[in-house]
Amino acid sequence: MILGTAAHPFRPFEDWIRVVHLVEELGYGMTCQSANPLSRGDAYVELGVAARETKHLLLATTVAVPAPANPAVMAASIATVNQISDGRAVLGMGRGTATARMIGERGLTTAGLEEHVTAVRALLAGHEVDWHETPLRLGWLDREPPPVILAAYGPKTLRMAGRCADGVLIASAVRGRVLREAIRTVRTAAREAGRDPAELAIWVMGRASVGDDADESLGDLKAILAGAGRQLDERDPDLGEDLRPALAELKNRYVEADHVVPGGANDALIDELGLVDYLAGRFAITGTPKECRDQLQELADLGVDCVFLNGAMRNEERMIVSMADRVGVSFQAKADLAESATP
């Protein structure tokens, strides 16, 4: 299992590419760039530059939103990065409802997203695709296609990833029962579609911080955990009845001006509402170096292939260095446990 990380996507390109070099020097296996056109420049162009300036890192979009583009546009963009990087590109795709709304488009339906994923994968494999009665084919491809990793939160999208993608980026949890159930859902869907679940890449996303004790490690993460809590559905089946009122209060009182800003009002809010332990246990890799290593080893033993770590805004470089130096950036699954994790 590899770890991946990156500079915050809102940073200027010069900062982002400098951190890309740092990530590779520290031994991480993946870095990525946001594909939101309103928050920064073209992700594919920037990843193409990173392809020229790195040797080993996987280079991923997190995540590219297909609506309303023709699938050949996205396929050609990531295939170009794949050419430049000698096969190290990864296309992270997602429904991207919020991003679509920001650019004045409607987010894709579940059926529309599956149609796009299927078409993009076929185009990247060199096949001809009939798109709205027009034949499409990328005739210039000359290497193995990059994998398409579908970001998924709820059960419908998790099942879709199992049916039609090369892998899944699980966004609903990085630890605990929710994560185990999500992995089970993806693998079951793959098997039902006649695919080998073992060939499906499992990626997870987690907020990360390491310290000498729990208080120190959580200090940087409370703002980003508050942001994760704000996105939770109050009907989420993992939430106990005691937490639902607190989550509703978080949504009502959340300060948008302090969104993911360390030391802002939302830090104190999740402390006041008693949500810190739940949110950290679901969404974060955090604690002492040993505790972080144990959490990551558990993921490796579940069969996770890549953990994408992000840290608090303005402090992500400290997280990137401290996780590499104090925790490690590669974990090997225990064979007996990895086999038993596959349903």
Residue 313 has pLDDT above 80, yes or no: no
DSSP reduced 3-state for 56: coil
pLDDT band at 293 (very low <50, low <70, confident <90, very high): very high
Cis peptide before 63 (omega within 30 of 0): yes
99 CB burial (10 A radius; 0-12, 13-18, 19+):
buried
What's residue 219's pLDDT?
A: 87
What's residue 53's pLDDT?
A: 97
List, for residues 21-33, the tens digit of each pLDDT value. Answer: 999 999 999 999 9
Looking at per-residue pLDDT, the higher value among 195 and 65 belongs to 195
Q: Residue 94 in contact with residue 154, Cβ under 8 Å?
A: no
Q: What is the mean pLDDT of the chain?
A: 92
Maximum average pLDDT range among 152-166, 205-219, 324-338: 152-166
Percent of the chain beyond pLDDT 70? 96
Residue 64 has pLDDT above 50, yes or no: yes
Could you tell me which residues are beta bridge partners of residue 198? none
* CA gap 343, 64 in Å, rounded: 30
Q: Residue 263 in contact with residue 222, Cβ under 8 Å?
A: no
What's residue 338's pLDDT?
A: 45
Which one, of 193, 190, 153, 192, lies nearest residue 169 by Cα? 153
Q: Residue 246 in contact with residue 253, Cβ under 8 Å?
A: no
Could you tell me which residues are beta bridge partners of residue 236? none
What's residue 339's pLDDT?
A: 44
What's residue 67's pLDDT?
A: 66
Q: DSSP letters along 159-228, please?
A: HHHHHHSSEEEE-S-SSHHHHHHHHHHHHHHHHHTT--GGGSEEEEEEEEEE-SSHHHHHHTTHHHHHHH
List, for residues 90-115, the tens digit of each pLDDT value. Answer: 999 998 776 777 778 777 889 999 99
What's residue 107's pLDDT?
A: 76
Q: What is the DSSP code (8-state) at residue 64?
A: B
- Amino acid in position 313: M
Looking at per-residue pLDDT, the higher value among 208 and 219 belongs to 208
Q: Tokens at residue 86, please?
A: 């000698």
Residue 199 has pLDDT above 80, yes or no: yes
Alpha carbon 284 to its chain's center:
13
List, for residues 160-170, the tens digit of each pLDDT value. Answer: 999 999 999 99
* CA gap 256, 240 in Å, rounded: 26
List, for residues 244-292, the tens digit of each pLDDT value. Answer: 999 999 999 999 888 878 888 999 999 999 999 999 999 999 999 999 9
* CA gap 317, 76 in Å, rounded: 32
What pTM was estimated for this model as a whole?
0.93
Q: Residue 129 in contact with residue 115, Cβ under 8 Å?
A: no
DSSP reduced 3-state for 331: coil
Which one, of 76, 40, 45, lies nearest residue 59 by Cα? 45
C-alpha dist (Å) from residue 166 to 126, 132, 201: 16, 24, 6
List, for residues 177-197, the tens digit of each pLDDT value. Answer: 999 999 999 999 999 999 999
Residue 215 has pLDDT above 80, yes or no: yes
* Mean pLDDT value of segment 193-202: 97
> Which pairing describes strands 167-170 and 30-33: parallel, antiparallel, or unpaired?
unpaired
* Mean pLDDT value of segment 9-26: 92
What's residue 335's pLDDT?
A: 60
